[in-house]
């Protein structure tokens, strides 16, 4: 039986000491003979708690396997507290490091989309520092003011609410210079307030920021301007009259604003900056990319917003429901008709804003290790299926949001309950960040990494193979079955790997594990024995890998993910 050691070759546990991100030095090696000393009782216990699933892995990438973007996991950031993320007069080093970790792995930083709900509450005032005659005289001596924001009261459901009003100046957009070199940015501008002058002035300030020598030298570029956030909900929010607001009205409105914005940002077939449009909240409100095309919208980059549910009014949410393999697939496949229609018009399709549960996530679900496994499978499945083909996924983040990968500044109020914290919580990463790290390592530094979802005949396990061009390099397996403190047992499933097609399969493989105690854990995860729960967001601890023969297969436990390097 695969997974036991009887005469099938050596297993090595390899631990490497990490300094920064570079592992050095062989630490431990355990040969097969060590395992033969295990008692019969222990071996029987292991076998009794194990199942086996056969998985066929193509040796060569199929012709339709899509090529992965190195920035597949990207970030959507609420604009009202943007300068908390970026920094003001100097960079937020914690946030920078968290992004730079991903860049070091793939060679490219994540993409950022900045604005979201806040973009339709944002007004521009060039002289934001000037409030009085005295200030007008002293303006050159006053420290630059980056923004003015008005926030509603914190509640138990929404401890960190979005601003109802945001006024920004040039210095607000100029903080984009603190991002890692090579970052591609989408900035959102206001459509909701129906004020073309304000939107034009904000766009002009954005363009001015990207003309700064510091941004140009770092290769930080303006990839898109997004005009308006979730316009399908404009009538609900009171931005437009309910009786007349529909897809056709939005297309006319958006086109009118786009013409105005184009006076500042010429959008041409050869320009580097494009429009991102179609950032719809939900298909249930009657808006969709296909309907927008029928109404005359073209020459933009459609983007849908997608969540698995909403915590806007509170409620009880089950972590296992979020992690469910079938549910993840059914949520994404609802987008297929619009994605195919988008591709047929030569356009890319992105999830411009996505995450677990809308309205900042559900406590005890969105902030857990189980949510990291959900995000990992959700990300890879969205890209792996040629019929889906989502180019980028922008996971929404905001200061104090439950579903964040990164909390970039010190929190004084609990993100789960809204209660004041007895001890402020320093900047930290959350479990979902490990998903981004694993995706990055699966992609690697190749600019031609392709992906195939594997057929895993198991209700909770998913798998993906990764190819450099056509050559098999890596595989990721995810066990989405929740293991909780109340669980009676933790099943180990052995994955027996078979190979299809011409070529010689690898004889050895190295296995790296995302170790999770319970699916509900909010910290304490390790990836290959290491963690990112350091004060500076850099990796810490000794790297621990398992080297074994492919013929033995590999075990995966409930609530676990593994990366195999062939």
Here the tokens at position 37 are 């000393």
**Dihedral sign from CA coordinates of 375, 283, 115, 113:** positive
Rounded to an integer, what distance in angstroms lies between the CA atom of residue 75 and that of residue 405?
A: 9
**Burial letters 417-436, b for 16+ CB under 10 A, else e:** ebeeeeeeeebbbbbbbbbb
In degrees and rounded to multiples of 5, residue 154 shows phi and psi of -70, 145
Rounded to an integer, what distance in angstroms lies between the CA atom of residue 509 and that of residue 310?
A: 41
Please tell me the predicted confidence (pLDDT) of residue 291: 58
Please tell me the predicted confidence (pLDDT) of residue 303: 56
Here the tokens at position 7 are 């005469």
Who contacts 474 (Cβ-Cβ below 8 Å, separation ≥6)? 441, 442, 444, 465, 466, 563, 564, 565, 566
Q: Is 332 left (phi over 0), alpha (psi -120 to 50) or beta?
A: alpha
Please tell me the predicted confidence (pLDDT) of residue 267: 56
Digitized pLDDT (tens) for each residue of the chain, 566 residues in all: 444 333 334 444 444 444 444 333 322 333 333 334 443 333 334 444 559 999 999 999 998 898 999 999 999 999 999 999 999 999 999 999 999 999 999 999 999 999 999 999 999 998 776 554 445 454 455 556 789 999 999 999 999 999 999 999 999 999 999 999 999 999 999 999 999 998 999 999 999 999 999 999 999 999 989 988 888 888 888 999 989 888 888 888 888 888 888 777 665 544 567 666 556 555 445 565 555 555 555 544 555 566 677 777 777 778 998 999 999 998 888 778 777 777 777 777 788 889 988 888 899 999 999 999 999 999 999 888 655 667 789 999 999 999 999 999 999 999 999 999 999 999 999 999 999 999 999 999 988 999 999 999 999 999 999 999 999 999 999 999 999 999 999 999 999 999 988 888 899 999 999 999 999 999 999 999 999 999 999 999 999 999 999 999 999 999 999 999 99
- Burial status of residue 141 (CB atoms within 10 A of its CB: 0-12, 13-18, 19 or more): exposed
Q: Round to the nearest angstrom and report the end-to-end CA distance of the chain.
A: 21
248 closest CA partner among 281, 285, 280, 291: 291
Please tell me the predicted confidence (pLDDT) of residue 24: 31
In degrees and rounded to multiples of 5, residue 468 shows phi and psi of -95, 100
Please tell me the predicted confidence (pLDDT) of residue 284: 47
| C-alpha R_g of the chain | 25
Q: Residue 277's Cα: distance from chain center in Å?
A: 20
Residue 305's SS3 state is strand
| Fold classified for 73-306+392-443 | TIM Barrel (3.20.20)
Count of C-beta atoms within a 10 Å radius of residue 137: 10
Residue where the block lists tokens 């905001």: 398
Residue where the block lists tokens 């071996």: 43
Who contacts 29 (Cβ-Cβ below 8 Å, separation ≥6)? 12, 13, 14
Rounded to an integer, what distance in angstroms lies between the CA atom of residue 191 and that of residue 258?
A: 10
**Burial letters 242-256, b for 16+ CB under 10 A, else e:** eeebbbebbbebbbe
380 closest CA partner among 485, 307, 478, 282: 478
Q: Residue 413's Cα: distance from chain center in Å?
A: 24
Count of C-beta atoms within a 10 Å radius of residue 400: 24
Q: Where are the domains of the chain?
A: 12-65+450-565, 73-306+392-443
**Dihedral sign from CA coordinates of 475, 481, 484, 488:** negative
Residue 278's SS3 state is strand
Who contacts 138 (Cβ-Cβ below 8 Å, separation ≥6)? none
414 neighbors 372 (Cβ within 8 angstroms): no
142 neighbors 148 (Cβ within 8 angstroms): no
Residue where the block lists tokens 């995450």: 355
Q: What is the CATH number of domain 12-65+450-565?
A: 2.60.40.1180
Please tell me the predicted confidence (pLDDT) of residue 429: 98
Total residues found in the chain within this entry: 566
440 neighbors 98 (Cβ within 8 angstroms): no
Please tell me the predicted confidence (pLDDT) of residue 527: 98
Please tell me the predicted confidence (pLDDT) of residue 312: 75
438 neighbors 514 (Cβ within 8 angstroms): yes
92 neighbors 409 (Cβ within 8 angstroms): yes
276 closest CA partner among 115, 82, 447, 83: 115
Rounded to an integer, what distance in angstroms lies between the CA atom of residue 337 and that of residue 354?
A: 19
In degrees and rounded to multiples of 5, residue 464 shows phi and psi of -145, 140
200 neighbors 213 (Cβ within 8 angstroms): no
407 neighbors 358 (Cβ within 8 angstroms): no
Who contacts 235 (Cβ-Cβ below 8 Å, separation ≥6)? 241, 242, 245
Count of C-beta atoms within a 10 Å radius of residue 504: 7
Which residues are 12's β-sheet partners?
547
């Amino acid at each position: 039986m695969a997974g036991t050691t009887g005469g099938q070759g050596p297993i090595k546990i390899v631990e490497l000491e990490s300094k920064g991100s570079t592992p050095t030095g062989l630490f431990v090696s355990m040969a097969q003979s060590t395992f033969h000393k295990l008692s019969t009782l222990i071996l029987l216990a292991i076998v009794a708690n194990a199942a086996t699933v056969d998985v066929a892995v193509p040796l060569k990438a199929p012709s339709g396997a899509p090529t992965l973007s190195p920035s597949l996991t990207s970030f959507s950031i609420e604009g009202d507290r943007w300068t908390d993320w970026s920094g003001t007069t100097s960079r937020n080093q914690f946030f920078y490091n968290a992004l730079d970790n991903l860049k070091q792995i793939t060679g490219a930083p994540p993409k950022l989309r900045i604005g979201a709900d806040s973009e339709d509450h944002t007004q521009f005032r060039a002289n934001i520092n000037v409030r009085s005659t005295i200030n007008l005289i002293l303006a050159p001596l006053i420290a630059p003011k980056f923004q003015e924001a008005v926030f509603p009261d914190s509640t138990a459901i929404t401890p960190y609410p979005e601003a109802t009003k945001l006024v920004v100046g040039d210095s607000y957009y100029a903080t984009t210079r603190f991002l890692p070199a090579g970052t591609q940015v989408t900035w959102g501008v206001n459509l909701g307030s129906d004020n073309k002058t304000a939107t034009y002035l904000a766009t002009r300030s954005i363009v001015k920021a990207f003309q700064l020598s510091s941004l140009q030298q770092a290769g930080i570029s303006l990839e898109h301007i997004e005009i308006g956030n979730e316009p399908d909900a404009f009538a609900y929010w009171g931005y437009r009259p309910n009786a007349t607001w529909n897809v056709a009205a939005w297309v006319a409105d958006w086109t009118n604003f786009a013409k105005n914005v184009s006076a500042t940002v010429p959008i041409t077939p050869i320009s580097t900056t494009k429009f991102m449009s179609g950032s719809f909240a939900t298909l249930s409100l009657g808006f969709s990319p296909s309907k927008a095309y029928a109404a005359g919208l073209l020459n933009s980059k459609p983007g849908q917003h997608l969540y698995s549910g909403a915590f806007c009014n509170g409620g009880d949410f089950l972590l296992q429901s979020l992690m469910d393999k079938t549910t993840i697939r059914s949520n994404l496949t609802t987008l297929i008709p619009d994605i195919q229609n988008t591709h047929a018009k030569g356009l890319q399709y992105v999830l411009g804003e996505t995450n677990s549960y809308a309205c900042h996530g559900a406590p005890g679900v969105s902030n857990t290790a189980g949510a990291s496994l959900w995000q990992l499978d959700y990300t890879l499945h969205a890209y792996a299926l040629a019929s889906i083909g989502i180019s980028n996924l922008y996971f929404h983040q905001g200061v104090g949001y439950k579903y964040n990968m990164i909390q970039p500044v010190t929190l004084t109020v609990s993100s789960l309950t809204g209660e004041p914290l007895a001890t402020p919580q320093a900047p930290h990463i959350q479990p979902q960040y490990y998903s981004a790290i694993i995706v990055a390592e699966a992609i690697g530094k190749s600019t031609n990494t392709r992906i195939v979802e594997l057929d895993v005949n198991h209700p909770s396990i998913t798998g993906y193979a990764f190819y450099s061009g056509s050559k098999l390099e890596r595989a990721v397996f995810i066990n989405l079955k929740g293991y909780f403190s109340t669980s009676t047992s933790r099943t180990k499933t052995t994955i027996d790997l078979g190979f299809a097609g011409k070529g010689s399969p690898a004889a050895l493989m190295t296995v790296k594990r995302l170790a999770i105690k319970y699916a509900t854990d909010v910290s304490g995860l390790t990836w290959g024995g290491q963690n990112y729960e350091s004060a500076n967001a850099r990796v810490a601890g000794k790297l621990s890998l398992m080297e074994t023969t492919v013929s033995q297969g590999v075990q995966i436990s409930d609530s676990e993910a593994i990366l195999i390097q062939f």
